[in-house]
Structure formats: structure tokens, C-alpha cells
Amino acid sequence: MADIIDGRAVARKLDAETKAQVDAMVAAGLPRPGLAVILVGNDPASEVYVGRKIKKCAEVGITSVEHRMPADSSQAELLALIATLNEDPAIHGILCQVPLPTHIDTGLVLRAIAPSKDVDGFHPVNVGRLSTGTGGIIPCTPLGVMKLLDTVYDDLTGLDVVVIGKSNIVGKPIAMLMLEREATVTVTHIETKDLPDICRKADVIIAAAGAPRLVKGYWVKPGAVIIDVGITRMKTEDGKTKLVGDVAFEEVQHARAVTPVPGGVGPMTISCLLANTVQAAREQLEGTSSDGFSIDWDELPDRSMFTGETSEASA
Ligand code: GUN
């Protein structure tokens, strides 16, 4: 039987660490971390997710402020709210729940959030920092996946990892994180040829294709570790809904360890959001956040190497 990786237990431990960090900040006289959550419209699933995020903030001592806007709000109104929150010193993290109504340009809105407050890690500055191994805020689900793998392995060096799914918010960032840890990464997707054969060579399979029960037992080599990021809501015969992962769970019991759905990656995502909010607050207070990541020309010892001018130092 494969070991079950208990995402709820790992998330509880992370929440306790986050709460301890918040308590220590407050005890040191620093401001309490603050998260603004923006919800435009009343998509039922988004309402549930936002409600959970707000509740979990209270549990770890993060101040949360919910901004609800009607579905017909204009893009300009949303951008104005984000501009105000970017300047608000009591707000260290901003999360704009997606999907947004179709008349709003989601990419533009997400890029309007200051990189230092982008606790989703979606802003191109944070994407670029992750890709270059230079810090920044890591998207919550990929961060959660790494923390789950860390409960199985001390070291990922040299492991063959197959990622199924190439999304900007899960597949690609996971590949970058794995490379940083010296794993050998193959990024695949639903159009990849010979996907079962490629998966069968993997030490670790990360299934993030959003394709229910895609990964079959014969795709998995004995002793592999499987992280199932898929969460598809499906109707059962008796009319109820149930969550189904990307892995045919009962077929992969020859694996070393596997995450269940629900109770695997899902609980980690909100816990990583809270951890990211504390990281963002700390970096803003220390002055080490992404907003200060560009070159400070006045601090350069010799500008001439960038500008081509003859400087006093090199003259
Ligand atoms: N909608 C569903 N999941 C997420 C998430 O992690 N972040 C944001 N901003 N919106 C979401």
C-alpha cells in the first residue's frame, strides 16, 4: 500500500509556524500583517474560496480586509482600488480572486498589483524572480507541492520528475522550483506523445492537467511518489458532487506515496497564501521586497559598465 501524504496535517503544521511568526512580529512591535482580498461579482465557488481565506487569516492572526465589488464594476474602478491598496501601509498582501468578469482584462489587473504585495506570485516580476532563482513570492499551489514533497524526501537532487500540465500558475512554476532543487524535470501536457511511457520512468509525478483520473496504475513505476494537483468537481450517480483528482488513486497503490483528493494539495494552498502574506509583510518592513528589486543607479559603484559613459572611476 502506498503511504498517504496527509495535506491537512502538513497544512496545520505550516499554519502553526505562520501564527508563531505573526505573534513574534507583533511582540517585536511590528505591524500585524494585513491581507486585502478583492472579490468582483458573486461567483459561488469564488465566494466559498474567499470565505475560507478570510477565516484562515483570523486563525493565524493576519488582519484581512474583504473588498466586494458588484459584477458590473468597471476595470477602472478595480484598478483604482488596487492603486489605493498598493499605497496602504497596513496592507502587505493583495489577492484579487479570479475568474474576473469577462469585461475585465485579468492579466492587466494582476499586473497592477505591486510585486511586493502580490501574494499569489502571479506578477511577471515574481515569475521572473522564480525563473532566475532570485527569490520573490512563489505561487501558493506550487509552494504547497514542494512542502508536501519535503515530507517524503530530504533531497530532490537527481530525481526524475515528470510534471503533467504547463499552466502559468502550477505546471511552469513547479518545474522552476524542481530545477532549483537539482531535480531533472520533464514538463508534459495533455498533447504530449507517449505520456504513459514518460511517466513510467519518473521518480516523482506531479499531475496538474485538470483531467480527472488521467494517470493510470500502469503509468507509475513501483516506488514512485505522486502529487495530485487536479481537483475536478463531478456529479455522482445520486446527484451529489464529489472532487476527483488527476490520478486513478486506487490503481497506484504500488507507489511509495501519493496525495489524496481531497485532503492532499488543496489544504496547502491557503496555508501557503498565509505564509506568503507574512513573507511579504516582513520583506516590506525590511525593505527587501520585489519593489526594490530593480537597479538602484545611485548605488552602483561604476555606472559606466551599463551606460557606456566614461566615469571618474575608470577614467
Ligand atoms: N481563484 C482560484 N484560486 C485562486 C488563487 O489561488 N488566487 C486567486 N487570485 N484566484 C483564485
**15, 21, 118, 120: which is the annotated catalytic residue?**
120
- In ligand 1, which atom is closest to the CA atom of 141? 6
State whether the beta carbon of 47 lies less than 6 angstroms from ligand 1. no
Look at residues 72, 90, 123 and tell me which one is the last residue of a structural domain.
Answer: 123
The residue that leads in pLDDT, 43 or 299, is: 43
**Amino acid at position 277, single letter:** T
* Model pLDDT for residues 152-169, shown as the tens digit of each residue: 999 999 999 999 999 999
- Active site annotation includes 238: no
pLDDT at position 117 is 98
293: pLDDT strictly greater than 80: no
State whether the beta carbon of 118 lies less than 6 angstroms from ligand 1. no
Determine the average pLDDT of the residues in 93-111.
97
Q: 149 and 260: one domain?
A: yes
pLDDT at position 315 is 45
State whether the beta carbon of 36 lies less than 6 angstroms from ligand 1. no
C-alpha angle 123-124-127 in degrees, rounded to nearest 5: 90
C-alpha angle 118-164-126 in degrees, rounded to nearest 5: 20
- Active site annotation includes 3: no
Look at residues 123, 158, 178 and tell me which one is the last residue of a structural domain.
Answer: 123
Beta 232-235 vs 241-244: how paired, if at all?
antiparallel
State whether the beta carbon of 120 lies less than 6 angstroms from ligand 1. yes
Let me know if residue 96 belongs to a domain.
yes
Domain count, the chain: 2
Look at residues 233, 252, 267 and tell me which one is the last residue of a structural domain.
Answer: 267
At 105, which CATH number? 3.40.50.10860
Say if CB 254 and CB 220 are below 8 A apart: yes
Label residue 314 by pLDDT band (50, 70, 90). Answer: very low
Q: 40 and 114: one domain?
A: yes
59: pLDDT strictly greater than 60: yes
Output the pTM of the full model. Answer: 0.92
pLDDT at position 296 is 63
27: pLDDT strictly greater than 80: yes
Let me know if residue 151 belongs to a domain.
yes
The residue that leads in pLDDT, 309 or 244, is: 244
Determine the average pLDDT of the residues in 112-130.
97
- In ligand 1, which atom is closest to the CA atom of 46? 1
State whether the beta carbon of 203 lies less than 6 angstroms from ligand 1. no
Label residue 307 by pLDDT band (50, 70, 90). Answer: low
pLDDT at position 51 is 97
Q: 51 and 168: one domain?
A: no
Closest CA to 280 of 169, 119, 140, 95: 119
251: domain range?
140-267
Inter-CA distances, 44 with 41, 47, 222, 234, Å:
9, 5, 41, 16
Let me know if residue 294 belongs to a domain.
no
> For a substitution probing ligand 1, which of 39, 43, 64, 98 has the most ligand atoms within 8 Å of its CB?
98
What cell was used for 69? 465589488
* Distance (Å) from CA 273 to ligand 1 centroid: 10
Q: 114 and 145: one domain?
A: no
Three-state SS at 100: coil
C-alpha angle 87-91-92 in degrees, rounded to nearest 5: 100
At 171, which CATH number? 3.40.50.720
* Distance (Å) from CA 305 to ligand 1 centroid: 42
311: pLDDT strictly greater than 60: no
Say if CB 119 and CB 276 are below 8 A apart: yes
Percentage of the chain surpassing pLDDT 90? 90
- Active site annotation includes 97: yes
Percentage of the chain surpassing pLDDT 70? 92
**21, 97, 279, 284: which is the annotated catalytic residue?**
97
Let me know if residue 99 belongs to a domain.
yes
Three-state SS at 296: coil
Q: 66 and 159: one domain?
A: no
* Distance (Å) from CA 97 to ligand 1 centroid: 5
Q: 166 and 240: one domain?
A: yes
Inter-CA distances, 273 with 104, 117, 166, 198, Å:
24, 12, 21, 32
* Model pLDDT for residues 211-269, shown as the tens digit of each residue: 999 999 999 999 999 999 999 999 999 999 999 999 999 999 999 999 999 999 999 99
